[in-house]
Amino acid sequence: MKVIECPRDAMQGIHEFIPTELKSAYINTLLRVGFDTIDFGSFVSPKAIPQLRDTAEVLNQLQLNPSTKLLAIIANLRGARDAFNFEEIQYLGYPFSISETFQQRNTNRGIEAAWMDVQKIQEEVVSNGKELVVYFSMGFGNPYGDEWNLEIVESWAEKFNKIGVKIISLSDTVGAAVPEDIAYLFSTLGKQYPEIEFGAHFHSRPDRWKEKIDAAYQNGCRRFDSTIKGIGGCPFAKDELVGNIATENLLMYLNKQDQTTGVNTQAFGEAVLISTKVFSHL
């Protein structure tokens, strides 16, 4: 079972700059919790995400341990090459949208251009000894009217399989996923591509998180993204109640399934306390 804590997702949309020292202290606490991976920062244009312009500085202040890996988000080859300079980073995450409109908004290029980019990124990621995590943004539908169906998602999974991507996270970007679609995709893709690890990055209203996690878990998903207190989410969701899945809820669910998460409860409690300072404006 892999729990990926995503402070990057929680922080990136906050306008008031969080001091670098506070970010580092928070992530250092998260590193002691025992998460499989921490999605800690990004190498994208500071104009696009001002909050994360200090990712390299944060990284230099982290107290790393071999049991928890680091993931950084990139949006193009230039960002990937920036990340290659840091051997501490094991994973690079690329948001590949199933929606043409969202791909344009998120990375300033269409799907076909993004596909060309990500093939080059995959080649260089492998040659630099790192691993690419591809997020299928808008993986369960979109608010723009762009074409979406289960077959489109399956076809993209096949293309990424052919270029050797080993981790794909199905992302419910605007909280649109229903349990039936979640169950179908995880059960079907898991059988078709056993060599790929399919993860879940869900956004949800507070009253729907459990049905989404349950549908994924019961159909083979063993990799889940979350954030403490469910902070963050997509600004395009058009519903202020839609945020990330709360890590405390996810851990409660997994404990009831008798799943070992490796989480140190004392360190987790300390992280929750520090989160109140990091996100004091909320």
pLDDT in tens, 95-136: 999 999 999 998 999 999 999 999 999 999 999 999 999 999
Answer whether residue 231 shows pLDDT above 90: yes
Half-sphere exposure in the Cβ direction for 198 (13 Å, CA): 29
> Using the 8-state DSSP alphabet, how is residue 250 labeled?
H
User: What's the structural domain count of the chain?
Assistant: 1
CB pairs under 8 A, 24+ apart, for 194-197?
A: 195/161, 195/166, 196/157, 196/160, 196/161, 196/165, 196/166, 196/167, 196/168, 197/166, 197/167, 197/168, 197/222, 197/223
d(CA 144, CA 129): 37
Q: Are strands 197-204 and 243-244 parallel, antiparallel or unpaired?
A: antiparallel
Q: How many percent of the chain have pLDDT more than 90?
A: 90
Amino acid type, 281: H
Q: State the pLDDT at residue 236.
A: 56
Q: State the pLDDT at residue 191.
A: 97
For position 93, which CATH number holds? 3.20.20.70
- The pair of structure tokens assigned to 94 is 């690329």
DSSP SS3 for 226: strand
pLDDT band at 57 (very low <50, low <70, confident <90, very high): very high
pLDDT band at 241 (very low <50, low <70, confident <90, very high): low
Domain that holds residue 122: 2-278
pLDDT in tens, 2-48: 999 999 999 998 999 999 999 999 999 999 999 999 999 999 999 98
Answer whether residue 91 shows pLDDT above 90: yes
The per-type count for the chain, helices as H runs and strands as E runs, is 11, 9
pLDDT band at 257 (very low <50, low <70, confident <90, very high): very high
Residue 177 phi, psi dihedral angles, 5° rounding:
-65, 140
Calculate the average pLDDT of the chain. 95
pLDDT in tens, 183-214: 999 999 999 999 999 999 999 988 999 999 99
Q: How many percent of the chain have pLDDT more than 70?
A: 97
**Which whole-number Å values give the CA distances from 138 to 67, 89, 173, 216, 248, in the listed order?**
31, 26, 5, 16, 24
Answer whether residue 234 shows pLDDT above 80: no
Q: Give pTM, 2 decimals.
A: 0.96
- First vs last C-alpha separation in the chain: 31
d(CA 57, CA 195): 35
CB pairs under 8 A, 24+ apart, for 147-150?
A: 148/98, 148/99, 150/181, 150/184, 150/185, 150/188
d(CA 155, CA 158): 5
Amino acid type, 126: V
Answer whether residue 238 shows pLDDT above 80: no
Amino acid type, 207: D
Asked whether 65 and 90 are in contact (CB, 8 A), the reply is no
Answer whether residue 239 shows pLDDT above 60: no
- The pair of structure tokens assigned to 86 is 């840091």
